[in-house]
Amino acid sequence: MMRFSIARDALPFVVPLGAAAAVLFVFGLIVPGAVCALAAVLVLFFFRDPKRTPPSDTALVVAPADGLIVGVSEVDEPDYLGEPTVRVSIFLRLWNVHMTYAPVNGTVEHVAYRPGRFGIAGFSKASELNEANSIGVRAGGGRLMFRQIAGMIARRIVCRIGPGDEVRRGERVGLIKFGSRVDVFFPKSYEVLVRKGDLVRAALSPIARPR
């Protein structure tokens, strides 16, 4: 089940674009007015904010973002899990929903923002080098972490949760404005249910489960 709305984060972009379009139309400047109006519509499309209902099986970890699986690899994760992990990387394309959703039910134990580069988010090293925000959650099946990563176009990460907060699967916890990638880190004991090249939908597509 999905319900459609627009994130409030669109307002700082849509209001000036809409106002500019109105003024230009009043003065008979049709083409530039139409360009501003189209830009406002595209921003609204980008900031669409669907409410989604995750699968009923609460053992399943769902995708925290819409997009394309660009990598499934084994990496060390020293910041929160402190052990070798499996990393699933989701690349958000411009036409995807760009909200970030909680992948599990649990308690937030770790939130850490890291300034960094704005390189191409599809590259593997973007997880270590780009601006990012990491969120560690203790769930019933153990602990996991997901990381919001900025890219060449995305220049603002929004996170609306902090340590001690309880989150529910499918709950919207933030977004990456105009981009770009979300990584999920699991202990190697988890069974990963996706592979490179798969398309996933946030809060709906299972990506892993505890063994």
Give the pLDDT band (50/70/90) at residue 198. very high
In percent, how much of the chain has pLDDT > 70? 87
- Side-chain half-sphere exposure of 114, counting CA atoms within 13 A: 21
Predicted pLDDT at 2? 46
Look over the chain and give the mean of its residue pLDDT values, rounded to a whole number. 86
Distance, in Å, from the CA atom of 201 to the CA atom of 153, rounded to the nearest integer, reads: 21
Looking at the fold, whether 96 and 187 belong to one and the same domain comes out as: yes
Least confident of 61-70, 116-125, 154-163, 198-207: 116-125
> For residue 67, is it left (φ>0), alpha (ψ between -120 and 50) or beta?
left
Looking at the fold, whether 59 and 130 belong to one and the same domain comes out as: yes
> 71-102: per-residue pLDDT in tens?
999 999 988 999 999 999 999 887 888 889 99
Looking at the fold, whether 9 and 59 belong to one and the same domain comes out as: no
CATH assignment of the domain containing 140 = 2.70.70
Contacts 24+ apart (CB under 8 A), 11-18: 13/40, 13/43, 13/47, 14/40, 14/43, 14/44, 14/47, 17/43
Looking at the fold, whether 67 and 37 belong to one and the same domain comes out as: no
Predicted pLDDT at 128? 66
Distance, in Å, from the CA atom of 17 to the CA atom of 98, rounded to the nearest integer, reads: 20
Domain boundaries, position 63 = 55-210
> 2-53: per-residue pLDDT in tens?
456 877 777 788 888 889 999 989 988 999 999 999 988 888 877 788 888 8
The catalytic residue among 5, 180, 189, 205 is 180
Looking at the fold, whether 11 and 70 belong to one and the same domain comes out as: no
Looking at the fold, whether 37 and 110 belong to one and the same domain comes out as: no
Looking at the fold, whether 122 and 203 belong to one and the same domain comes out as: yes
Looking at the fold, whether 17 and 96 belong to one and the same domain comes out as: no
The number of folded domains in the chain is 2
Looking at the fold, whether 188 and 143 belong to one and the same domain comes out as: yes
Looking at the fold, whether 85 and 162 belong to one and the same domain comes out as: yes
> 121-144: per-residue pLDDT in tens?
555 565 666 788 999 999 876 899
**Is 127 considered catalytic here?**
no
